[in-house]
Structure 1
Amino acid sequence: MKKFKWIITVTGGLLLLFVVLTLFNTFTVDSKQPSPDSTTIKINKQAAVSRFSKAITFQTISYKDRSKFDLETFQLFIDYLKESYPAVHSNLELEKVNDYALIYKWKGTNPSKKPIGLTAHYDVVPVIEGTEDNWQQKPFSGNVVEGNIWGRGTLDDKIGVIGILEATEYLINNGYSPSRDVYLMFGHDEEIGGLEGASAIVDTLKERGVTFAFVLDEGGAIVENMVPGVKKPVGVVGISEKGSATAELTIKGSGGHSSQPKDETNIGRLSAAIAKLEDRQFDADLKGPGEDLFEFVAPEMSFGMKYVFANKVIFEPIIEKILLQKPASAALIRTTIAPTIFNAGEQYNALPEEATAVINFRLMPGETLKGVKKFIRNTIDDNAIQITIEGIEASGVSETNNWQFKSIQQAARNVYENAVIAPYLMFAGSDAKHYDAISENTYRFSPVQITAEDLKRMHGTDEHISEENYINAIKFYAEVMKEANRK
Structure 2
Amino acid sequence: MNYIVAQADPSTSPRRTSSPQCPQVEPLFPSATTDELDHMANVLQLDTFRNLSIQRLSGAVQIPTESFDDMGEVGKDPRWDIFGPFAAYLEKTFPLVHNTLELEKVNTHALLYTWAGTDPSLKPTLLMAHQDVVPVPESTVNQWTHPPFSGHYDGKFVWGRGSSDCKNQLIAILEAVEALVEAGFAPRRTLILSLGFDEEISGQDGAGHLAPFLLKKYGHNSIAVIVDEGAVNVESWGADFALPGVAEKGYVDVDIVVRMPGGHSSIPPKHNGIGVASELISLIEANPYDSILDEENPYLDLLYCGAEHAPKFPKDLKRLLHKRSTQRHSCSKKDHLAIEAAKAGPAIKYLMTTSVAVDIISGGIKTNALPERTQITVNHRINVGSTSKSVLTKISHLAGQIAHKYNLTLTPFNGTETPSSITLSHRDTLLEPAPVTPTRSTSNKITPYDILSGTTRALYGKELIVAPGIMTGNTDTRYYWGLSEHIFRYGPGWDKDQNGLGNIHTVDEKMGVQAHLDTVRWMAAFVRNMDEADV
Normalised by the length of structure 2, the TM-score is 0.80
Measured in 2, the distance between the counterparts of 1:405 and 1:240 equals 13
**Are residue 428 (structure 1) and residue 473 (structure 2) matched?**
yes
Kindly provide the amino acid, as one letter, of the partner of residue 124 in structure 2.
P
Question: Residue 198 of structure 1 contacts residue 431 of structure 1 at CA under 8 Å; is this kept in 2?
Answer: yes
Q: Which residue in the other structure is 2:523 paired with? A: 477
Q: Which residue in the other structure is 2:513 paired with? A: 467
Partner deviation per Cα, 1:327-353 (whole Å, 9 max, x = no partner): 112211121111112222344554322
Measured in 2, the distance between the counterparts of 1:129 and 1:255 equals 38
**1:329 is matched with which residue: 348, 351, 360?**
348
Q: How does 1:368-379 map to 2 (within 5 A)?
A: 368-379=387-398
Partner deviation per Cα, 1:257-301 (whole Å, 9 max, x = no partner): 455443333223222222222222223211222323323333122
Measured in 2, the distance between the counterparts of 1:83 and 1:312 equals 59
Q: Which residue in the other structure is 2:33 paired with? A: none
**1:60 is matched with which residue: 60, 65, 78?**
65
Measured in 2, the distance between the counterparts of 1:407 and 1:369 equals 33
Sequence identity percentage: 30
Q: Which residue in the other structure is 2:24 paired with? A: 33
Q: CA RMSD in A?
A: 2.5
The alpha-carbon deviation at position 471 of structure 1 amounts to: 0.3
Q: Tell me, what secondary structure is at the counterpart of 2:211?
A: helix
Measured in 2, the distance between the counterparts of 1:249 and 1:264 equals 17
Kindly provide the amino acid, as one letter, of the partner of residue 409 in structure 1.
S
Q: Which residue in the other structure is 2:5 paired with? A: none
Question: Relative to structure 2, which stretch is displaced further, 326-335 or 170-179?
Answer: 170-179
Kindly provide the amino acid, as one letter, of the partner of residue 478 in structure 1.
A
Q: Which residue in the other structure is 2:130 paired with? A: 121
Q: Which residue in the other structure is 2:54 paired with? A: 49
Measured in 2, the distance between the counterparts of 1:200 and 1:398 equals 23
**Are residue 411 (structure 1) and residue 449 (structure 2) matched?**
no
Q: Tell me, what secondary structure is at the counterpart of 1:437?
A: coil
Question: Residue 62 of structure 1 contacts residue 69 of structure 1 at CA under 8 Å; is this kept in 2?
Answer: no
Measured in 1, the distance between the counterparts of 2:192 and 2:472 equals 26
Shift in alpha-carbon separation, 1:188–1:69, aligned structure 2, 3 A: farther
Kindly provide the amino acid, as one letter, of the partner of residue 273 in structure 1.
L
Q: Tell me, what secondary structure is at the counterpart of 2:82?
A: helix
Question: Relative to structure 2, which stretch is displaced further, 413-422 or 448-457?
Answer: 448-457
Kindly provide the amino acid, as one letter, of the partner of residue 186 in structure 1.
L
Q: How does 1:114-153 map to 2 (within 5 A)?
A: 114-153=123-162
Partner deviation per Cα, 1:117-156 (whole Å, 9 max, x = no partner): 0010111111012111111111111111121111111111
More helix by proportion, 1 or 2? 1
The alpha-carbon deviation at position 246 of structure 1 amounts to: 0.9
User: What are the ranges of 5 or more consecutive residues in structure 2 without an aligned counterpart?
Assistant: 1-15, 31-37, 328-333, 404-409, 411-420, 442-446
**2:262 is matched with which residue: 255, 266, 269?**
255
The alpha-carbon deviation at position 28 of structure 1 amounts to: 6.6
Measured in 2, the distance between the counterparts of 1:357 and 1:31 equals 44
User: What are the ranges of 5 or more consecutive residues in structure 1 without an aligned counterpart?
Assistant: 1-23
Measured in 2, the distance between the counterparts of 1:474 and 1:366 equals 35
Shift in alpha-carbon separation, 1:152–1:350, aligned structure 2, 3 A: same
Partner deviation per Cα, 1:380-404 (whole Å, 9 max, x = no partner): 3223421111222222221112511
Q: Tell me, what secondary structure is at the counterpart of 2:139?
A: coil
Kindly provide the amino acid, as one letter, of the partner of residue 387 in structure 1.
L
Kindly provide the amino acid, as one letter, of the partner of residue 408 in structure 1.
L
Measured in 1, the distance between the counterparts of 2:464 and 2:208 equals 33
Q: Tell me, what secondary structure is at the counterpart of 1:52?
A: helix
Measured in 2, the distance between the counterparts of 1:312 and 1:133 equals 54
Measured in 2, the distance between the counterparts of 1:478 and 1:169 equals 10
Measured in 2, the distance between the counterparts of 1:169 and 1:116 equals 16
**Are residue 358 (structure 1) and residue 377 (structure 2) matched?**
yes
Partner deviation per Cα, 1:240-269 (whole Å, 9 max, x = no partner): 211221111111112344554433332232
Q: Which residue in the other structure is 2:291 paired with? A: 284
Measured in 2, the distance between the counterparts of 1:401 and 1:481 equals 22
Shift in alpha-carbon separation, 1:111–1:152, aligned structure 2, 3 A: same
Measured in 2, the distance between the counterparts of 1:308 and 1:109 equals 52
Partner deviation per Cα, 1:166-201 (whole Å, 9 max, x = no partner): 111112222322221110111111112222211211
Measured in 2, the distance between the counterparts of 1:201 and 1:258 equals 53
**2:187 is matched with which residue: 178, 188, 191?**
178
Measured in 1, the distance between the counterparts of 2:436 and 2:125 equals 18
The alpha-carbon deviation at position 37 of structure 1 amounts to: 4.6
Question: Relative to structure 2, which stretch is displaced further, 344-353 or 276-285?
Answer: 344-353
Question: Residue 164 of structure 2 contacts residue 509 of structure 2 at CA under 8 Å; is this kept in 1?
Answer: yes
Q: Which residue in the other structure is 2:437 paired with? A: 398
Q: Which residue in the other structure is 2:489 paired with? A: 444
